[in-house]
Amino acid sequence: MKVQISYNLFQRSVLLKYKGSSCGFHQSTILRTDSEGKQNSKGKENSTGSQRDKVSAAKTKSKTDRANIKKEAAVPHSAKLEAAQKRLQALLKEFPQEETIETKINLVRPKSKLQKKKADKISAIEAAAKGVADVLKGSNEKDAVKQELLARVQVAERGLPAYDKEELLGAITGLKARVRQEEENKRKAEEAIKAKEVEKAAAVKQKFGEKKGDEGKKFERRAGAYQAGKTRLFEAEPLGIFIDSQGKPILTPSGLKSGMATWDAAKERALQMCVLSLPANGFEEMIQWTEQGKLWKFPIDNEYGLEEEHNVGFHEHIFLEPHLEPWCPKSGPVRHFMELVCVGLSKNPWLTIEEKKRHILWFKDYFTEKIDLLKETHAVDEAAADQLTKPLEIEQ
Amino acid sequence: MIKDNKRRQCVKNHFEERIRHLAVKKATVLPPELQAVAAKEVEEKFPRDASYIRVVNRCSVTSRPRGTVERYRLSRIVWRHLADYNKLSSVQKAIW
């Protein structure tokens, strides 16, 4: 921004002269403003120097003017005007005309600090690098050195190496190659270690395997744990968890048996629940119950469960004395008792024939137990006793 | 109810033999010595719960020991309740 300071100075000085004593305006302030403007500017030294001289001149003049003012206080108005005009003219001559001073005024604007920094750094360091490169003139390595320097500088400052495409690719492939190599090295190292261990184990085994008895076995077990090459899964003896003593697998209808009875039962039940279809409605429920025997079959028949008795005739139920014949004495208290029993059974509609037979034959066994007592009490004589105790022939 | 169930089980197991021993015990035709022996056996050999007299026909719903209608296996209160709601076949309020 170009500012015509001379004119401003002139104006102020003029104002001073006019106002001087009355306003009491201090001259030093004006001078300060002028000096500030000059400091900011990056103008020529000559101009600044000249200005300073003029300022000092203005200072002195202003002082002289003060004195003059006091003198002229008594002078009338027209004379004052003339004097002023003269002074104006003199001043105009002294000041350089149409001198424009370019000043840079720092207006407040957003500036990126990074850019500023980078700009600064690049400018400084790159220039240095270039200088160094220039020193090595004439050699073929110049460009290479320069590039290297530049690259390193850039890496240091920005953190971004300026690679060419080819360089990048080369770097990547180089990386890959490096990684592969490293992996291979690792593998080799591991293999070497393994091989060493195997050798050790073999050596130990050899050494101690020759010992007889338990010690040799011990070392066999320890040293032979790792064997290079295959792993053998099915060569060891089976533990026999799921096999019977006979070698058959322990199987429940659902699967393998565990040693826990409750667990097995619960498992079976769970599987049955999965398979069984629960009754969808009341009819199905009643069918289930009837099959289980919880529900009577309708229409109600008193002889449900006694279907075989239909085939048996009533004479077998009533005439039970044939069952007494082989063993029971023909007279005496025993006979009397047994006939009563038969009468009672013949009148019983609820027992089956088998049950009646059993009933009668039980008494035979009971009396054979108590035969001694019966003999003592003379309920049974000797012959009858023999007949009683005689075991029945199995009739088929 | 569980006690009654146990008794029924006992009856199921022992009653057949017990009743035969009882028959000998009560048979005046047989010599009294034999009767005495049989009586003793009945007491010692069999538990008391082997007798069917100790079994109680309780209500199926409430387990009430007394006042059961034997045909329906229900106590009178439950029986009446069901009868009022017409759940018992052919049961009707008596009027004559």
What ipTM score was computed for the predicted complex, to two decimals? 0.86
User: What integer pLDDT is reported at residue A264 of this predicted model?
Assistant: 86
Candidates B34, B35, B52: best to mutate against A (most CBs of A within 10 A) is B34
Residues of B in contact with A341 (CB under 8 A): 23
User: What integer pLDDT is reported at residue A300 of this predicted model?
Assistant: 87
- What is the number of CB-based contacts under 8 A between chain A and chain B? 33
Q: For residues A209 and A221, what is the distance between their CA atoms, to the nearest angstrom?
A: 10
User: What integer pLDDT is reported at residue B91 of this predicted model?
Assistant: 94
Percent helix, strand, coil in chain A, to 5, is 65, 0, 35
Residues of A in contact with B71 (CB under 8 A): none
Contacts of B1 (CB under 8 A, 6+ apart): B58, B63
Q: For residues B59 and B66, what is the distance between their CA atoms, to the nearest angstrom?
A: 8
In this predicted model, what pLDDT tens digit does every residue of A283-304 receive, in sequence order? 999 998 998 889 988 888 888 8
Residues of A in contact with B37 (CB under 8 A): 370, 373
Quote the minimal CA–CA distance from B53 to chain A in Å. Answer: 19
Q: Do residues A288 and A279 make contact, with C-beta atoms less than 8 angstroms apart? A: yes
Long-range contacts of A161-165 (CB under 8 A, 24+ apart): none
In this predicted model, what pLDDT tens digit does every residue of A16-32 receive, in sequence order? 555 544 444 444 444 44
Q: Do residues B35 and B52 make contact, with C-beta atoms less than 8 angstroms apart? A: no
Give the tokens for residue A381: 């004589």
Q: CB-CB: which of B20, B30, B37 is closest to A333?
A: B30
Identity of the amino acid at A180: R
Q: What is the value of pTM for the model shown?
A: 0.44
In this predicted model, what pLDDT tens digit does every residue of B26-83 receive, in sequence order? 999 999 999 999 999 999 999 999 999 999 999 999 999 999 999 999 999 999 999 9
Residues of B in contact with A379 (CB under 8 A): 30-31, 34
- Answer yes or no: do B34 and A359 touch at CB < 8 A: no
Q: CB-CB: which of A362, A366, A377 is closest to B31?
A: A377
Q: CB-CB: which of B17, B29, B34 is closest to A336?
A: B29
> If we measure between CA atoms, which residue out of B69, B87, B92 comes closest to residue B77?
B69
Give burial (CB, 10 Å; 0-12/13-18/19+) of A74: exposed
- Answer yes or no: do A359 and B20 touch at CB < 8 A: yes
Q: What is the DSSP letter of A279?
A: P
Contacts of A106 (CB under 8 A, 6+ apart): A40
**Stretches in chain A below the pLDDT threshold 70:** 1-76, 96-103, 111-123, 125-126, 129, 133, 136-143, 145-146, 150, 154-155, 157-166, 208-229, 249-257, 395-396
**Residue A332 Ramachandran class (φ > 0 left, ψ -120 to 50 alpha, else beta):** left
- Given the structure tokens 């592969």, which residue do they identify? A180
Q: For residues A229 and A53, what is the distance between their CA atoms, to the nearest angstrom?
A: 103
The residues of B whose Cβ lies within 8 A of any Cβ of A are 17, 20, 23-24, 27, 29-31, 33-34, 37
Q: CB-CB: which of B17, B29, B33 is closest to A337?
A: B29
Residues of B in contact with A340 (CB under 8 A): 27, 29
User: What integer pLDDT is reported at residue A122 of this predicted model?
Assistant: 59
- Answer yes or no: do B34 and A340 touch at CB < 8 A: no
Nearest CA in chain A to B26: A337
- Answer yes or no: do A340 and B30 touch at CB < 8 A: no
Contacts of A14 (CB under 8 A, 6+ apart): A88
Residues of B in contact with A334 (CB under 8 A): 30
Residues of A in contact with B29 (CB under 8 A): 333, 336-337, 340
Concatenate the DSSP letters of all residues of A196-235 into one string: HHHHHHHHHHHHHHTS-THHHHHHHHHHTT--SS---SSS
In this predicted model, what pLDDT tens digit does every residue of A289-345 receive, in sequence order? 998 889 988 888 888 888 888 899 999 999 999 999 989 999 999 999 999 999 999
Concatenate the DSSP letters of all residues of A235-276 into one string: SSPP--SSB-TTS-B-B-SSSBPPS-HHHHHHHHHHHHHHHS
Task: Note if the bond before A253 is cis, omega within 30 degrees.
Answer: no
For chain A, the average pLDDT equals 74
Give the tokens for residue B41: 């056996």
Q: CB-CB: which of A333, A340, A366 is closest to B31?
A: A333
